[in-house]
Amino acid sequence: MGFFFSSSSSSSFVFFFLAFLQLFSIVNGRNLTHSSFTPFNHDLYHSSRFIAKEIKGLVVRHPDRLRMETMRAQNKGYNAEVLVVTYNRARKDVNDSSKFRILLSFGQHGRELITSELALRLLSSLSEEKSIPNVDLSSLNNILEKIVLKVVPMENLNGRKRVEAGDLCERRNGRGVDLNRNWSVDWGKKEKDYDPHEENPGTAPFSEPETQIMRKLSKSFDPHIWVTVHSGMEALFMPYDHKNTTPDGLATHVMKSMLNDVNRLHCKDRCLVGSGGGSVGYLAHGTATDYMYDVMKVPMAFTFEIYGDKEASMKDCFRMFNPVDRTTFNRVVNDWSAAFFTIFKMGPHWMDLVHFNSSKLESIDEYLEGYLIERSSRYGKRMEVLDLGMQEIRTYFRLFLLSSVLLMFMFCSRISKSKYATIRPIVSAVSL
């Protein structure tokens, strides 16, 4: 017995069939879109809870060199906590206040998971539980005894938890503020390409508990070197972020020379080197590094960008900001751990150059100022005619001194390049 459909039932069937196909295509289209994005790789990356647990274990096992504290702050019901690990080899014959102080921050943006993995590897290496290719810690004992290191493994814990919950593109903190736009230097200024979702600076400078904690930490510690570690590209940045220029003076040459050495030794000259605002292609206002340099007067302040996948889709955030295979993962954490040991070794040397230059310029300026005052008081108005000439002499004398220091700096730089050439990182053949 055959079946037949009336025209009305036939049209209804076609309608529902087409509707089903459309719904099926939409659902599957969404699934295809999401499946094309790289998921959180739990085989490579640890959870925030696991990282904290591992670090606490390191502190318990190595009380002679590691200690830990949790700093907390809150604003209008929003709470934040930041874990701070201090590395300090206590020696009775070395005063802590005379040691070289370095402050490192990782995980300021939640989606940049690789940075906190680097922090964990670095602390494990300092504890001598993990080794780094081509880095002999025993040869650095004398240097490591003369530094105090404070490490913030995960500055933005609340933002990181949002990433772990599935929002893989989240860079902001737990209430939607970009912590690297919440500092006071040039705060709140917006460029033409400003993205309110990505770069929300908050309601005011230091409105966020996380930045309040970091400001308090930097004030109490008073570091000689500051480094905030990010991912998204390969770069070594110095001030400034909010303008496309670098600071004046010899300190700029010292910082750039130091970055060039790190680039040559550990980045195989792949990394961009220069000011953040002049190199990255856009200006950033209210950043931590600009604050550390301009307000806290940290002599050497840097932003390190340790990894980026240029081929990744803008929406495939996990792949864009984090290595997704073990070979690249290990290369990144090993290379950049070695880079930090180079900084530990070279930092005091470069700082001596900065201090030498600034103290010499100040002393000669004071001498010439005193000479002018003494001559003016002795000869009165007759010396007014010579004031301009004396100012010119002072200017030329300072330029002469500066050029002499620069020549000495270049000579020392050549020596240091040969001296530290033994620190060679392992770099895989994986192309980025």
What CA–CA distances, in Å, run from 244 to 201, 247, 276, 285, 327?
A: 20, 10, 7, 12, 35
Tokens found for residue 360: 């010499």
Catalytic residue check, 305: yes
Which of 105, 80, 111 is closest to 208 using CA atoms?
80
User: Could you tell me the two tokens for 66?
Assistant: 């590691």
The count of residues in the chain is 432
DSSP assignment, residue 92? T
Residue with tokens 């270049």: 410
Q: Mark out the alpha helices in 99-171 (DSSP H runs).
A: 113-126, 141-144, 157-164
φ/ψ of residue 184, rounded to 5: -85, -20
Q: The tokens of 414 are what?
A: 């050549």
Give CA–CA dist 250/230, Å, rounded: 26
What tokens were used for 355?
A: 């201090």
Catalytic pick among 112, 155, 170, 305: 305
The alpha-carbon radius of gyration of the chain (Å, integer) is 27
> Mapping DSSP to helix (H, G, I), strand (E, B) and coil, where does residue 349 land?
helix
Token pair of 70 as six digits:
């949790």
Q: Environment class of residue 233 by beta-carbon count within 10 Å: exposed (0-12), middle (13-18) or buried (19+)?
A: buried
Looking up tokens 């810690």 gives: 137
User: Which residues are CB-neighbours of 4 under 8 A, at least 6 positions away?
Assistant: none
Residue 310, phi then psi, degrees to nearest 5: -70, -20
CA torsion sign for 252, 255, 259, 265 is: positive
Reduce the DSSP state of residue 270 to 3 states and report it: coil
CB 73 within 8 A of CB 212: yes
Alpha carbon 62 to its chain's center? 26
Q: Please name the residue ranges forming H helices in 297-425.
A: 317-321, 326-379, 384-419
Active-site positions? 305
